[in-house]
């Protein structure tokens, strides 16, 4: 049977319940492909023909391979995507005791389809900061945690208690979305004697005399489960960033095995394809021999909430990367400006496939189909950054390799989504094309896309890396 990258995508999705885990998986792939880690806190000693990556906040990652014919001032060929997805994140104080249940306080992150989070078997994943003791001294470390078992659930209300629910299911994000962890009666049995459910008297950690302790703010049941995962004592958990996640594994489905059913396809699907394209386009001995530019993948956190953070696409991370790479070869500051004008960014984020039950939501001439290849997104009002030059280059690469490609523009009577494309185009001043694989159920806890589109996306992106510098050299519309 022919190899399908969708099989590897499913593995990547199953290993990546959060942006932190996705970055960790990306690191593993890059490391095993010979990419070396560099730190933004240190000096960089880069060499043409070598491959590197760095992370910021462990939720954004930038990887790059420098062509053997690269000189400072040459262009960057960049694939950009994002690591985050809409979800429920745990509040600073999660402990809620109501009606005989232990519930977990959550806040909504991004524009999720929140009704899809009801009646799912849920768990928790993210990062925790732990106190470590060695030879009498204390230090602090970050550990990724993930509880595999379904420990939580958000039950719907029975139809008998809400007869109008099928006319429109309305979710109050503050009061309806709290996942249920346990009944207080059972939780009480597992507790240390001093720790009662209702008053939350502290029982763990040496700082437990203080009022605002973790033991007061979170159910000890939850802290114990996290400590078990992290291999530490509950009292050594100093802080955390956790989110609720689905426990149902991602898989390939459909009667013809043609769909990927999974959460977080937006945008781990494009993150995976970009990474694989970079790794495979730089894997052979002479793959960078004729390359004059730098091939780069940048996967950002916080796209779903507007990208304004220290590691989002609205931060200087992209500009910092371009400047540091260029100046590693020549410190003349004009060269970065020149390099940016020679560069090209493909902003890859999932697109809306035509939904057969809601045909009127798409414009007649622009109906992206599953298996139809990457969708080039256009918007005259610059919600997408595509223009004729960038879409031509991207389409031309597809034509040369016989890869299908399609177009999308939103109906004039509907609002248009956006991506990191316009943010990077306006922030860095780089030519950009917005693209993405077609999918359904975007922002649901369980989305779907086409197996063939994973392959088309990967092949298209790999061809972009291998051919962009040559093709771009033939186009000059700036003068
Ligand atoms: Zn997205």
Question: What digits encode the pLDDT tens for the residues 308-334?
Answer: 999 999 999 999 999 999 999 999 999
For the chain, the three-class secondary structure string (H helix, E strand, C coil) is CCCCHHHHHHHHHHHCCCHHHHHHHHHHHHHHCCCEECCCCCCCCCCCCCEEEEEECCCEEEEEEECCCCCCCCCEEEEEEECCCCEEEEEEEEEEEECCEEEEEEEEECCCCHHHHCCCCEEEEEEEEEEEEECCEEEEEEEEEECCCCCEECCCCCHHHCCCHHHCCCCCCCCCCCCEEEEHHHHHHCCCCCCCCCCCCCCCCCCCCCCCCHHHHCCHHHHHHHHHHHCCCHHHEEEEEEEEEECCCCEEECCCCCEEEECCHHHHHHHHHHHHHHHHHCCCCCCCCCCCCEEEEEEECCHHHCCCCCCCCCCCHHHHHHHHHHHHHCCCCHHHHHHHHHCEEEEECCEECCCHHHHHHCECCECCCCCCCEEEECCCCCCCCCCHHHHHHHHHHHHHCCCCEEEECCCCCCCCCCCHHHHHHHHHCCEEEEEECEEECCCCCCEEEEHHHHHHHHHHHHHHHHHHHHHHHCCCCCC
How many angstroms does the Cα of residue 19 sit away from the middle of ligand 1? 13
How many angstroms does the Cα of residue 305 sit away from the middle of ligand 1? 10
How many angstroms does the Cα of residue 447 sit away from the middle of ligand 1? 12
At 33, list the tokens: 């492909």
How many angstroms does the Cα of residue 418 sit away from the middle of ligand 1? 8
How many angstroms does the Cα of residue 303 sit away from the middle of ligand 1? 7
How many angstroms does the Cα of residue 223 sit away from the middle of ligand 1? 32
Q: Measured at the alpha carbon of residue 77, what is the angle toward residues 286 and 17, in degrees to the nearest 5?
A: 95
How many angstroms does the Cα of residue 279 sit away from the middle of ligand 1? 22
Q: Please provide the distance, in angstroms rounded to a whole number, between the alpha carbons at the two ends of the chain.
A: 50
| pLDDT value of residue 214 | 81
Separation CA 42–CA 40 (nearest Å): 6
**pLDDT category of residue 200 using cuts at 50, 70 and 90:** very low
Range with the poorest average pLDDT among 237-241, 345-349, 408-412:
408-412
Percent of the chain with pLDDT over 70: 95
How many angstroms does the Cα of residue 434 sit away from the middle of ligand 1? 11
| pLDDT value of residue 52 | 98
For 33-60, what is each residue's pLDDT tens digit? 999 999 999 999 999 999 999 999 999 9
How many angstroms does the Cα of residue 84 sit away from the middle of ligand 1? 8
* 204 has a pLDDT exceeding 60: no
How many angstroms does the Cα of residue 82 sit away from the middle of ligand 1? 7
Q: What is the mean pLDDT of the chain?
A: 93
CB 82 within 8 A of CB 301: yes
| pLDDT value of residue 322 | 97
| pLDDT value of residue 208 | 45
How many angstroms does the Cα of residue 67 sit away from the middle of ligand 1? 30
How many angstroms does the Cα of residue 267 sit away from the middle of ligand 1? 5
Mean pLDDT on 201-207: 43
For 253-298, what is each residue's pLDDT tens digit? 999 999 999 999 999 999 999 999 999 999 998 999 999 999 999 9
CB 23 within 8 A of CB 62: no
List domains and CATH numbers for the chain: 5-85+263-473 (3.40.630.10), 87-246 (2.30.250.10)
| pLDDT value of residue 192 | 63
* 199 has a pLDDT exceeding 60: no
**pLDDT category of residue 206 using cuts at 50, 70 and 90:** very low
- The segment with the largest mean pLDDT, out of 132-136, 194-198, 333-337, 468-472, is 333-337
How many angstroms does the Cα of residue 449 sit away from the middle of ligand 1? 13
How many angstroms does the Cα of residue 72 sit away from the middle of ligand 1? 32
Separation CA 268–CA 144 (nearest Å): 18
| pLDDT value of residue 136 | 87
How many angstroms does the Cα of residue 273 sit away from the middle of ligand 1? 14
The alpha carbon dihedral of 286, 293, 423, 23 has a sign of positive
Which pTM value belongs to this model? Answer: 0.94
**pLDDT category of residue 154 using cuts at 50, 70 and 90:** very high
For 341-397, what is each residue's pLDDT tens digit? 999 999 999 999 999 999 999 999 999 999 999 999 999 889 999 998 999 999 999
At 293, list the tokens: 């530019």
How many angstroms does the Cα of residue 343 sit away from the middle of ligand 1? 23
How many angstroms does the Cα of residue 64 sit away from the middle of ligand 1? 22
How many angstroms does the Cα of residue 60 sit away from the middle of ligand 1? 14
**More confident site: 200 or 122:** 122
How many angstroms does the Cα of residue 17 sit away from the middle of ligand 1? 15
How many angstroms does the Cα of residue 270 sit away from the middle of ligand 1? 9
Q: What is the largest CA-CA distance in the chain?
A: 78
How many angstroms does the Cα of residue 367 sit away from the middle of ligand 1? 19
Burial of 412 (0-12, 13-18, 19+ CB in 10 A): exposed
At 390, list the tokens: 């960038």
How many angstroms does the Cα of residue 301 sit away from the middle of ligand 1? 11
How many angstroms does the Cα of residue 102 sit away from the middle of ligand 1? 33
The alpha carbon dihedral of 325, 329, 330, 334 has a sign of negative
Tell me which long-range contacts 192-199 makes (C-beta under 8 A, separation of at least 24).
192/220, 195/220, 197/97, 197/102, 198/97
The alpha carbon dihedral of 457, 463, 469, 473 has a sign of negative
How many angstroms does the Cα of residue 349 sit away from the middle of ligand 1? 5
Please report where in the chains the tokens 């950690």 appear, as a residue: 205
How many angstroms does the Cα of residue 257 sit away from the middle of ligand 1? 24
How many angstroms does the Cα of residue 357 sit away from the middle of ligand 1? 23
How many angstroms does the Cα of residue 100 sit away from the middle of ligand 1? 39
* 478 has a pLDDT exceeding 70: no
| pLDDT value of residue 193 | 53
* 97 has a pLDDT exceeding 60: yes
């Amino acid at each position: 049977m022919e190899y399908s990258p969708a099989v590897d995508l499913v593995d990547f999705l199953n290993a990546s319940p959060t942006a932190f885990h996705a970055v960790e998986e990306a690191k593993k792939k890059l490391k095993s492909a010979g990419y070396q880690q560099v730190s933004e806190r240190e000096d960089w000693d880069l060499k043409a023909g070598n491959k590197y990556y760095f992370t910021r906040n462990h939720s954004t990652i930038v990887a790059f391979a420098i062509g053997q014919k690269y000189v400072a001032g040459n262009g960057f060929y960049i694939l950009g995507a994002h690591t985050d997805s809409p979800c429920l994140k745990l509040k600073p104080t999660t402990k809620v005791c109501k009606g005989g249940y232990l519930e977990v306080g959550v806040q909504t992150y991004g524009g999720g389809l929140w009704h899809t989070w009801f009646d799912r078997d849920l768990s928790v994943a993210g990062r925790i900061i732990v106190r470590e003791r060695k030879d009498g001294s204390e230090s602090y470390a970050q550990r990724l945690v993930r509880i595999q078992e379904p420990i939580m659930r958000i039950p719907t209300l029975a139809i008998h208690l809400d007869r109008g629910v099928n006319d429109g299911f309305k979710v109050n994000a503050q009061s309806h979305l709290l996942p249920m962890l346990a009944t207080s009666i059972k939780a009480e049995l597992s507790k240390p004697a001093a720790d009662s459910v209702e008053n939350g008297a502290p029982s763990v950690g040496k700082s437990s005399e203080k009022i605002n302790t973790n033991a007061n703010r979170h159910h000890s049941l939850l802290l114990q489960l996290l400590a078990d995962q992290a291999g530490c004592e509950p009292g050594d958990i100093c802080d955390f960033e956790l989110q609720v996640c689905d426990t149902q594994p991602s898989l390939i489905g459909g009667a013809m095995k043609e769909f990927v059913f999974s959460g977080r396809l937006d945008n781990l699907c494009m993150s995976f394809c970009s990474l694989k394209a970079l790794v495979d386009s730089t894997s052979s001995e002479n793959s960078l021999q004729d390359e004059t530019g730098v091939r780069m993948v940048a996967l950002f956190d916080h796209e779903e909430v507007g990208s304004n953070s220290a590691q989002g696409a609205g931060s200087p991370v992209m500009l910092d990367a371009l400047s540091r790479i260029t100046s590693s070869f020549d410190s003349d500051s004009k060269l970065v400006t020149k390099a940016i004008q020679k560069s090209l960014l493909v902003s890859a984020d999932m697109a809306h496939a035509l939904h057969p039950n809601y045909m009127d939501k798409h414009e007649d001439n622009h109906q992206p189909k599953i298996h139809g290849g990457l969708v080039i997104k256009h918007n005259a009002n610059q919600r997408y950054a595509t223009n004729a030059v960038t879409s031509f280059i991207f389409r031309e690469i597809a034509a040369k390799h016989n890869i299908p490609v399609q177009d999308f523009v939103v109906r004039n009577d509907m609002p248009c989504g956006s991506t990191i494309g316009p943010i990077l185009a306006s922030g860095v001043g780089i030519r950009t094309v917005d693209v993405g694989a077609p999918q359904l159920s975007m922002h649901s806890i369980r989305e779907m896309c086409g197996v063939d589109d994973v392959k088309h996306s990967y092949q298209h992106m790999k061809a972009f890396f291998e051919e962009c510098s040559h093709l771009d050299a033939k186009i000059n519309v700036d003068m």
